[in-house]
Each structure stands twice: as C-alpha cells, then as structure tokens.
Amino acid sequence: MYTAYFKSGNVSRTVISSFGGINRRARIGDGEFADMQNMSADAYPLLAPRAARTVAQRQLTETKTEQTVETTVYKSLNGILGDVGFCAVWGTDFYYLGQKIEGLSLIDGEKRLVAFGANILIYPDQKYYNTVTGESGAMETAETVSGSETILTGNGFKYKASDSRISTDADGNVYISVNYIMGWRGFNLNSALCKSAKESFYMPQLYVDGENATKDSFKNYLRIRIQNGMIEYISSATTVCIGLGSDRYTLEDIVWKALPIEAVTAPELTGETGYLWNGDTPIKITDGMLYLAEPGDLSSVFSSIGNTSSSALVCTYNWTKSNLPRLDHVCVLDNRLWGCRYGMQAGSTAAVNEIYCSKLGDFKKFTTGTTADAAWSASVGAYGKWTGCIALGGRVLFFKEDKMLRVSGTKPANFQIAEIADVGLQSGCEKSMQIIDGVLYYKSRDGIYTYDGSMPTRISDKLGDAQRAETAVAGSIYGKYYVALDGVLYVYDTYTGLWHKEDRQNIRYFTRYGGSLYAAVDQDIVCLVGEADTIFAAAEPEGTFVWSCESGDLGLESPYQKYYKRVLICASGGFGADMTVSMIPDGSEPISADFTFDGFGTVVFPVVTPRCDHMRVKISGHGAVRIYSLSYETETVSDTPERR
C-alpha cells in the first residue's frame, strides 16, 4: 500500500536592510517595489515617506462690483518663475515678489517666462519687466499701415447696411457681423479674414427668402453672414407665408452652413491690448477690437464696414507690423536671447524653419549683421516643428521630436549648427528639461533621457509604461529630478539612481526659489521641497497624508509551494504615526496587522499564510516613519507526494 504525504518543509529567513525604489519590470529585487505612493529616497538605504509640503498660495481671486452686485472672479495661474525673484502671472496681471505690477497687462493664457539679466521676458505676449528699475513694456516696436479690403463681390444682390457692424456681444465676444441678401448667381469671397479662401466662388443651394418681405421682392435670394470669425450661408430653410391679402413670407428652421475656409474665432476679451495666436494665425486685441492677420502682417483690424457699390462689400483696416520674429521656444546664453520658429513668420509670406539669436545684450533687436555683437539667424533642414531649446555647457541645444541640434560658436561669423542625436524632445514636453550637475534630463517619446555632451541615455526603464506618457513637466533641486508624467509625480535621485513615486497631481509648472522647489498644482502654488518664503503670508502646511509601498512577487525563484510567516520589521515613528503591514498570498485577500509607534523598536507580525506559490508585502501608514529592516520566514514544501 502506498501512502501520500508531504515532506517536512525547509525553513529559511530573508532579511532586507536596503530598500530600493519603484521597479515595474517583470522581475525585481527583494528590496524594490512594484508600486508606491508618497515615498522618498531621502533616507536611503532606509524606507521612508516624503516630507510634508506647504500650500504657499491658493488661487488668486478678485471681487468686482457691477451695479451694486459683487461677484468673485477666479484668476488662472498662467506661469511662475523664481530665477530673479519670485514672479507669477495671474490671469492678465503680473506679480513680482507678491506685488501686482501696475501698467503691465497681459493676455489671459499660458506663459513662457525667461530671465534675461535683471529682466523677465514674457512670451508669447513679448513683454518684459525689469526687476531693478521697475520698467516694463512691449519688447517690439510697430508700424501702422491703413488700407481697405473687399470682402464679398457678387451679382444681383441687395445689401442690408443696418445688419453689418463691428461690435461686442453680451458675453464680451468681439466679432464682425455682416448680413447679406444676395442673388441666386452665387458670390466670390475675397477675404482678409481667411487667407486660404482668396478668389473662391460659392453657389449655395437656392431657396425662397421672404423674411418680412414680399415674395416678388426677395424671390430666389440667399442670406450670408459673417460673425464670430465664421462666414456662413443658409443651406436650407422653411418658407412660411404670413399675413392676409398680400404675400408676405418669413423663414423658419434655418440651417446655417459654414464655408470650407480657415476662419478665426474671436477670443473673449474686451478693452484689453495684447497678442494671441491661433495656430499660425496671429490675433491682436486692442481696446476690445479684433485684429485678424494676413500673411506678412502681424495683424489687420477692420475698423468700418460699408458697401461702395451695389455688388461689393468693403472693410477698411489698420495693419500693425512687428519688428520681432515670432519664437516658438526661447532660452538665454552668453547675454543673447535664443529662439526658434517653425511655420509662418511675422513679416513673411513663406513658412520658415529657423534658429535666431538677438543682438549681444539686447533682447529687443534681431536685425542681423556681420559684427561680433550682431543678431543672427539660420535656416535648418531637419523636418518637423521645434519642440524646445535649452542652453547646456556653453552651447544651445534645439530639439525636434526625433532630432537634437547643437549651436556652437561665440559670434555670427563662427556660429555652427550640427545634428548630434536622433533622440529628440517629445512634442508638448518642453517643460520636462532640467539641468542637474551639468547633465540634461528630458522626456523623449519613449522615456526619460540624460545627455551629458556625448550620447543620450535612457534612465526610465524601471517606470514601465509610465515612461511613455504624453505629457511631462519637470523641476529639480538637491540632485533630484521631479517629473509629472501624465499627472503622476515621479522623483529620480541622481545620486542613488532610484525612482520613487509620490502622488497624482495636476502640476503645470515648476520653479526654484530661495532654496525651495515650487510647483503650480491646478491653480495653487505649492512648495514641494523646503520652506515657503515669507512673501507667501497665507501659507498652509500640509496635513496628514497616506503613504504606501508594495513589493513585487516574492518567491518566484522557487517552483515549490510555500508558507510565509513571522514578519519582523525594525522601524521608528514620530508621535501619532501608524503603520499597516499586509501579506498578500497569490494575489488573494490580504492578511493585515496595524501598529503604532512610541519611538524606535521592532514590531512582530506573527502571521502564517496559507500554502501559496508567491507572496507580496504591502506597508502603508501615516506620519513620519522610517523602516530600517524587514525579515520574514519561508517554509518550502513539495507538491509531489512520495511512495512508501
């Protein structure tokens, strides 16, 4: 007779006294973690959560009174910079060291802030503020030219002047409105509104238009309108007879159809002055009036509308030409402002793919020359839009998604451009670039790379799929690279080579100021590392937060079944800190125990798991806890019965 039995187990003890960071690869070490939240490498090789943060400033609000009614207006946080004193853009206002700078009005939208000596340059508005003298204003000078433009021409149409105007609607949208009653023969569109619609002929579907008119007067006529930057015509409508004794008609169930052209929608701004961009189309708002661009001009405003004949509609305009190039990305090196542009350029009717630098010491002058201090520009053959630029090691690096280009030299006579790598900067991730100890860190399409002047090297394999995020915003301080990948904050310690995951935050900007690292989180300014400066009078310390870390699958090195038991953790915690330890056998329900702290010591978790193939350990808690070592016992048993 044969009796099946299991051999007695072999018991071994595993001790982990050095803890790594997050590692999402298929096989990881005992001291690494498959997932974590709010952990840090500050105490390495110990395991510890991050330090508490401080909300330096909540979203700025403003109270406005209209007809004795008070309303609270929330301002958008559009940019922060701490290079030459802490500055922030709230809505259309610029703040320096916590004080609003009067007379410097901006367009409400995301900004690129660059320090040039004592000046803070504000893009895309192309304005500046001098932190020493307090001077501020526009970087560019402008030339105004007047003229006129024929908008529509046609045959046999009637024009209703009372319905054509430049005005502002109830929501503050500046728009051009033109209503036309036009003949059935169609019409030509010759519009400065839409650069791709020159000399285009349209023959809309016929219908009977009898809006408050007799049938004989308006038979077979169609209506056209231009408003909110769109040019439309009625493609269908129902004609209804109203009244008795005479044929009077009106239109119901009107369907407006937009013409297939590049139209521009007016931004919601009134009484403001500044510049916006809609793709490659520049738009200017001055005192509530909408400027729409023609190629070769910064902007053109239609200041009046009238019909000069029975078959044409004419608008007069003013053009404002800029003396500065439009720049997609900017940086500063050797007392020059550097930038790049891909697409339509101000003052040009052709697309450009160029690199620029300003005159030595003057960010307002870009007129090229042959002297050593002159401005300089050059065309580039590499295809694709620019994704960013940064100064590194006395040279300027310009990026496309699959190219890295380097400009070297000291003056226009010896400036040289070289393509040095095929690992570019991912589009939309220009804010991921940071320089730490002379090494550039940036987000490429397939991960985070470093570049020290030789060849780019990927360092983010341990992040798994997270390294292929679509968005990346980064900051750095004390040898650490903080990067928000699709809203999740990861930290790379350049000294230990470890990655740690903190939490999910909608971080839009980073900056350093006064030995601390700040971030724009949603619409608040948060001090992530260090203490908030005294300019933030209403700073709020962070409360208690949850931290956790979960190991990878333990026991995969052995194919036998196992029992896990008797977990020992040597740890210390501050007053009020707590910790929960969970054993998770084969992905089933966890077996947990809670612990509190009263100083330093070792806690014992006398657990015995069911027989399993592998196990995970998860540790979570609140407060300042440090874990010095962790150990557990493994009893290995055989799944194969023996015969006797």
Whether residue 3 is contained in a domain is answered as no
Domain range holding 517?
426-542
Residues 6+ apart with CB under 8 A from 620: 546, 547, 548, 549, 579, 580, 582
pLDDT confidence band for 62 (50 / 70 / 90): confident
Are 620 and 548 spatial neighbours (Cβ–Cβ below 8 Å)? yes
228: tokens are 């909110």
Whether residue 599 is contained in a domain is answered as yes
Query: If you average pLDDT over residues 37-42, what whole number do you get?
Result: 95
Ordered strands of the 457-458 beta sheet: 434-436, 439-444, 447-451, 457-458
CATH of the domain at 443: 2.130.10.10
Whether residue 642 is contained in a domain is answered as no
418 and 430 share a domain?
Answer: no
- Distance between CA atoms of residues 444 and 426, nearest Å: 5
Whether residue 525 is contained in a domain is answered as yes
Query: If you average pLDDT over residues 602-616, what whole number do you get?
Result: 83
What's the pLDDT score for residue 311? Answer: 54
pLDDT exceeds cutoff 50 at 115: yes
pLDDT confidence band for 32 (50 / 70 / 90): very high
Query: If you average pLDDT over residues 370-398, what whole number do you get?
Result: 94
Query: If you average pLDDT over residues 541-558, what whole number do you get?
Result: 91
What's the pLDDT score for residue 512? Answer: 96
162 and 306 share a domain?
Answer: yes
pLDDT exceeds cutoff 50 at 202: no
241 and 335 share a domain?
Answer: no
pLDDT, tens digit, 9 for 90 and up, residues 310-368: 555 554 544 455 678 889 999 999 999 999 999 877 655 467 899 999 999 999 999 89
CATH of the domain at 43: 2.60.120.430
Higher-confidence residue of 31 and 166: namely: 31
Are 245 and 256 spatial neighbours (Cβ–Cβ below 8 Å)? no
If you average pLDDT over each of 214-228, 343-357, 375-389, 607-621, which comes out highest?
375-389
313 and 352 share a domain?
Answer: no
Name the pTM for this structure.
Answer: 0.76
Query: If you average pLDDT over residues 61-72, what whole number do you get?
Result: 79
Query: If you average pLDDT over residues 432-444, what whole number do you get?
Result: 97
Query: If you average pLDDT over residues 39-54, what whole number do you get?
Result: 95
296 and 336 share a domain?
Answer: no
What's the pLDDT score for residue 223? Answer: 54
**Domain end: 269, 290, 322, which one?**
322
pLDDT confidence band for 229 (50 / 70 / 90): very low
611 and 507 share a domain?
Answer: no
What's the pLDDT score for residue 574? Answer: 82
pLDDT confidence band for 636 (50 / 70 / 90): confident
Q: Give one word for 266, left, alpha or beta, with left for phi > 0 and alpha for psi -120 to 50.
A: beta
Query: If you average pLDDT over residues 123-144, what whole number do you get?
Result: 85
Are 415 and 408 spatial neighbours (Cβ–Cβ below 8 Å)? yes
Taking CA atoms, 63 is separated from 71, 107, 223, in Å, by 6, 20, 44
**Domain end: 542, 557, 591, which one?**
542
pLDDT exceeds cutoff 60 at 176: no
- Distance between CA atoms of residues 607 and 587, nearest Å: 16
pLDDT, the chain, mean: 77
pLDDT, tens digit, 9 for 90 and up, residues 452-502: 999 999 999 999 999 999 999 999 999 999 999 999 999 999 999 999 999
pLDDT confidence band for 172 (50 / 70 / 90): very low
Taking CA atoms, 183 is separated from 73, 217, 219, 241, 260, in Å, by 48, 12, 9, 21, 20
pLDDT confidence band for 273 (50 / 70 / 90): very low
pLDDT exceeds cutoff 50 at 164: no
**Domain end: 523, 542, 561, which one?**
542
pLDDT exceeds cutoff 90 at 7: no
Whether residue 643 is contained in a domain is answered as no
72 and 44 share a domain?
Answer: no
Ordered strands of the 388-392 beta sheet: 388-392, 395-400, 403-408, 416-421
Poorest-confidence range of 47-51, 334-338, 423-427, 573-577? 573-577
Nearest of 233, 282, 232, 244 to residue 107 by alpha carbon: 282
What's the pLDDT score for residue 157? Answer: 45
pLDDT exceeds cutoff 50 at 407: yes
Domain count, the chain: 5
226 and 301 share a domain?
Answer: yes
Whether residue 376 is contained in a domain is answered as yes
Whether residue 5 is contained in a domain is answered as no
> Which residues sit opposite 225 in a β-bridge?
179, 232
313 and 330 share a domain?
Answer: no
- Distance between CA atoms of residues 448 and 461, nearest Å: 9
234 and 172 share a domain?
Answer: yes
Whether residue 503 is contained in a domain is answered as yes
462 and 586 share a domain?
Answer: no
Higher-confidence residue of 97 and 151: namely: 97
pLDDT confidence band for 564 (50 / 70 / 90): confident
149 and 183 share a domain?
Answer: yes
- Distance between CA atoms of residues 462 and 24, nearest Å: 5
pLDDT exceeds cutoff 90 at 529: yes
What's the pLDDT score for residue 177? Answer: 46
